[in-house]
Structure 1
Amino acid sequence: MAAPRLDTDEVILVPKMFSPPTLEQEVVNRYKHLRLHGLKVDPQSFSATYEDESKFDDDVWLSRIHNPVGKTFAAVTDSNTQSEASTTETLVKTNGANDALQRLLRKEWVGIVTLLGPGVFSRPNEGVATGLNQPSEVFIQNNQYQIPTTTSELGDLSGAHLVYLVVGMFVSPSGRRRGHGQRLMEATIAAATEEVRALEGSKVSITVQVESGNLRAQRLYERVGFKVVDEAVVIENRQGAKSSVVCLELEIDLSA
Structure 2
Amino acid sequence: MPTDYHYTYFRVSKTEDLDRSAQRYRDLRLQALKLSPASFAATYESEALLTDEYWKWRLSQPGRETFVCAARPEANPNAFNEEDLEWVAQLTLLGPRTKEEFTLPAASGQPEPGPDDEEERWQLLGLYTLSSHRGRGIAKRLCAEAIKYLVEYRVEPKNVHVRLMVKPGMEAAVRLYRGLGFVEVGSCTLAEALIANGEGDLLPEGYEVKEKFCARGGHVMLQCFTRDSV
TM range (shorter): 0.7 to 0.9
Unpaired stretches in structure 1, ≥5 consecutive residues: 1-5, 90-101, 122-128, 130-136, 142-156
- Distance 1:139-1:11 versus aligned 2 partners, 3 A rule: farther
1:11 maps onto 2:5 in alignment = no
Structure-2 change in CA distance of 1:7 and 1:35 (3 Å): closer
Offset of residue 10 of structure 1: 2.3
Contact 1:79 1:108 in 2 (8 A): no
Larger mean CA deviation between 34-43 and 178-187 belongs to 178-187
RMSD: 3.0
Structure 2 match to 1:248:
221
In the other structure, the counterpart of 1:177 is: 135
The one-letter amino acid paired with 2:178 is E
* Distance 1:140-1:110 versus aligned 2 partners, 3 A rule: farther
Cα deviation, residue 199, structure 1: 4.2
Shift of 1:254: 4.1
Equivalence for 1:226 = 182
In the alignment, the residues of structure 1 paired with residue 157 and residue 58 of structure 2 have an alpha-carbon distance, to the nearest angstrom, of 26
In structure 1, give the amino acid aligned to 2:222: E
Where 1:75 maps in the other structure, the secondary structure is strand
User: Aligned partners of 2:149, 2:93: CA distance in 1, in Å?
Assistant: 9
Shift of 1:24: 2.8
Secondary structure of the residue that 1:116 maps to in structure 2?
A: strand
Q: Secondary structure at the match of 2:14?
A: coil
Identify which of 70, 90, 102 aligns with 1:138: 102
Partner Cα distance (2:32, 2:119) in 1: 33
Distance 2:75 2:6 in 1: 15
For residues 48-93 of structure 1, give each alpha carbon's deviation from its aligned partner in whole angstroms, at most 9, with x where no partner exists: 11111111001111011101111101111114899xxx9x93xxxx
Judged with a 3 Å threshold, the aligned counterparts in structure 2 of structure 1 residues 192 and 212 are, in CA distance, closer, same or farther, namely: same
SS in 2 for 1:248: strand
Percent sequence identity over aligned pairs: 27
The C-alpha deviation readout for 1:206-237, integer Å capped at 9, x for no partner, is 0000112212221221112110001x310225
Q: Which residue number corresponds to residue 56 of structure 1? A: 50
Distance 1:40 1:221, change over 3 A: same
Residue 161 of structure 1: aligned partner:
119
Contact preservation (8 Å) 1:119, 1:138: yes
What's the TM-score, normalizing by structure 2?
Answer: 0.76
Residue 119 of structure 1 is matched in structure 2 by 97
- Indicate the residue corresponding to 1:99 in structure 2: none
Residues 1:201 and 2:165 aligned together: no
Letter in 1 for 2:146: T
Change in CA separation of 1:215 and 1:10 when aligned onto 2, cut-off 3 Å: farther
In structure 2, the CA distance between the partners of 1:52 and 1:215, relative to structure 1 (3 Å rule), is: same
Q: CA deviation at 1:239?
A: 3.8
Q: 3-state DSSP class of the match of 2:98?
A: strand
Gaps of 5+ in 2: 106-115, 195-201, 205-211
1:191 lines up with 2:191 in the alignment: no
Q: After superposition, give the CA deviation of every residue in 1:164-212 in whole Å (9 maximum; x if it has no partner).
A: 00011111111111111111111122222222xx241031000000112
Take 2:61 and 2:152, find their aligned partners in 1: how far apart are those partners? 19
| 220-229 or 184-193, larger mean C-alpha shift | 184-193
1:97-139 Cα offsets, whole Å, 9 max, x none, are xxxxx5xx54111101011101233xxxxxxx6xxxxxxx617
Greater CA deviation, 243-252 or 109-118?
243-252
- Checking the alignment, whether the CA contact within 8 Å between 2:5 and 2:72 is kept in structure 1 is no
Task: State the secondary structure of the residue aligned to 2:31.
Answer: helix
Q: Which amino acid aligns with 1:9?
A: Y
Match of 2:199 in 1: none
Q: Secondary structure at the match of 1:114?
A: strand
